[in-house]
């Protein structure tokens, strides 16, 4: 007797994960913007890095959590974190981000560990980047550039790539500079005589080249904005179509790596990419789901948020984030096993407020309860009594979540009794799909239904009204 081995079905998410792992950054390679030539676009050699942060407010636990998150971001980008330094200051140093003494200590740590990159936990000005590089003698990258690099690695769709490139260029523009001291500048002066003054015919090409690059970048930014606006129009058209059909929209939002994609997979069998990494999902995925009473609604996965999410990212991804602002319900996913779930919730609500989604009804969902400690869960249950506690990985609490989502879906406005002939099963199916059936009874004349439907369906059912 011959037995055949049946291979398990491979989802699109698994294939994408395999592809992403096979393309992890190789040491020595860098991410560089296309279309930009002969410009020092801070090539990110994220190989062996030292982290440095400035603790300006909050307590030491907050500062350590922030640096831990920076380490996770660096590892997601493909680097090896060697050491982290924190300095307590009232505000970052305007010249070097950290104080002069801390710069010397940072340089010693870089030399001792053989690091090739320093990552700062904040957005640095062009002068701070330049000064730190000159004093540490290695590449310096700030938090914003790091997040942009991760987004560039993970973007898959045409819209996602355009949004990331726009954010990169907006970040790059004020930080343009030439290829170092060897690149000559405009000489200035009257043009007479020799010496260091140069003059007509002896002016260096450096400043002209930077101006050319700025023009090219501004042109590219304008083109990307037009493309993203066109994509936004398409997205708005799809939203309008869904609104006309009366299908409620539910958006899954939350901190990066809180388990949003896992939750979408658990609720809809979507098969989207799931990875234990920050910003694994950039391209939104929408799937249909149904409540127990038959009402159909859409579930959309969205890009994750993070503390101090760069303004360039929020602006570039505004058209995508508006999916949340136009939803009927926001399922706000929180990582229950994270050291600071309260900070996660505050960071997400801040970004939701920026895109106008703070007025949408919110259902708080605490995920990963299978790995969280009992004391933390008890505290969170006291703090958020309306929240649903689940584990997307094990399935614990998922049924309670389905019920909670169904209870919060907008209910059709018109309540009526109708008697449908037995040959009009299409109308009964339409009501189940778009409305809510409160009661059913079979009579000699047909199926008697007590329903709640929207105005458009009510108009169609008027002739069957009891």
Separation CA 27–CA 96 (nearest Å): 28
Q: 238: closest CA among 162, 361, 332, 322? A: 322
* Three-state secondary structure call for residue 432: helix
Separation CA 87–CA 100 (nearest Å): 11
pLDDT of residue 56: 85
For the chain, which residues score pLDDT lower than 50?
Answer: 1-8, 10, 20-46, 178-204, 273
Strands (E), 208-344: 249-254, 285-290, 296-301, 329-335
pLDDT of residue 386: 93
pLDDT of residue 46: 47
pLDDT of residue 390: 94
* Three-state secondary structure call for residue 149: helix
Give the pTM.
Answer: 0.70
281 phi/psi in degrees, rounded to 5: -110, 120
Separation CA 69–CA 306 (nearest Å): 9
């Amino acid at each position: 007797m011959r037995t055949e081995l049946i291979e398990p079905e491979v989802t699109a998410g698994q294939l994408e994960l395999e592809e992403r792992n096979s393309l992890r950054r190789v040491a020595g390679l860098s991410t560089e913007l296309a279309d930009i030539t002969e410009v020092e676009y801070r090539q990110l050699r994220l190989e062996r890095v030292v982290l440095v942060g400035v603790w300006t407010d909050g307590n030491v636990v907050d500062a350590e959590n922030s640096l831990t998150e920076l380490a996770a971001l660096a590892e997601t980008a493909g680097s090896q974190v060697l050491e982290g330094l924190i300095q307590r200051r009232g505000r970052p140093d305007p010249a070097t981000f950290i104080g002069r003494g801390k710069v010397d200590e940072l340089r010693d740590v870089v030399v001792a560990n053989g690091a090739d990159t320093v990552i700062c936990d904040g957005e640095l000005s062009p002068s701070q980047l330049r000064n730190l590089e000159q004093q540490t003698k290695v590449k310096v990258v700030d938090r914003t550039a790091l997040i942009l690099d991760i987004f560039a690695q993970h973007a898959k769709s045409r819209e996602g790539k355009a949004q990331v490139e726009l954010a990169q260029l907006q970040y790059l523009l004020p930080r343009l500079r030439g290829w170092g001291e060897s690149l000559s500048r405009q000489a200035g002066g009257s043009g007479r005589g020799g010496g260091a003054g140069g003059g007509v015919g002896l002016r260096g090409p450096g400043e002209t080249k930077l101006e050319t690059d700025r023009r090219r970048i501004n042109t590219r930014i304008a083109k990307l904005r037009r493309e993203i606006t066109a994509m936004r129009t398409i997205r708005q058209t799809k939203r309008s179509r869904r609104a006309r059909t009366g299908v409620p929209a539910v958006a899954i939002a939350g901190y990066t790596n809180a388990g949003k994609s896992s939750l979408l997979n658990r609720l809809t069998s979507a098969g989207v990419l799931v990875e234990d990494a920050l910003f694994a999902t950039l391209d939104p995925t929408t799937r249909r789901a149904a409540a127990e009473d038959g009402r159909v609604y859409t579930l959309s996965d969205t890009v994750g948020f993070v503390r101090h999410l760069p303004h360039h990212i929020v602006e570039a991804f505004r058209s995508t984030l508006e999916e949340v602002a136009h939803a009927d319900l926001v399922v706000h996913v929180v990582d229950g096993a994270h050291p600071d779930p309260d900070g996660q919730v505050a960071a997400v609500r801040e970004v939701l407020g920026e895109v106008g989604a703070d007025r949408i009804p919110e259902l708080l969902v605490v995920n990963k309860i299978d790995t969280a400690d009992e004391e933390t869960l008890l505290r969170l249950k006291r703090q958020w009594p309306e929240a649903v506690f689940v584990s997307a990985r094990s399935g614990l609490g998922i049924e309670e979540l389905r019920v909670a989502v169904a209870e919060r879906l907008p209910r059709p406005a018109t309540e009526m009794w109708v008697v449908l002939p037995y040959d009009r099963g299409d109308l009964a199916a339409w009501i189940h799909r778009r409305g809510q059936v409160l009661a059913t009874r079979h009579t000699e004349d047909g199926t008697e239904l007590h329903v709640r439907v929207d105005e458009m369906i009510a108009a169609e059912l008027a002739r069957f009204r009891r």
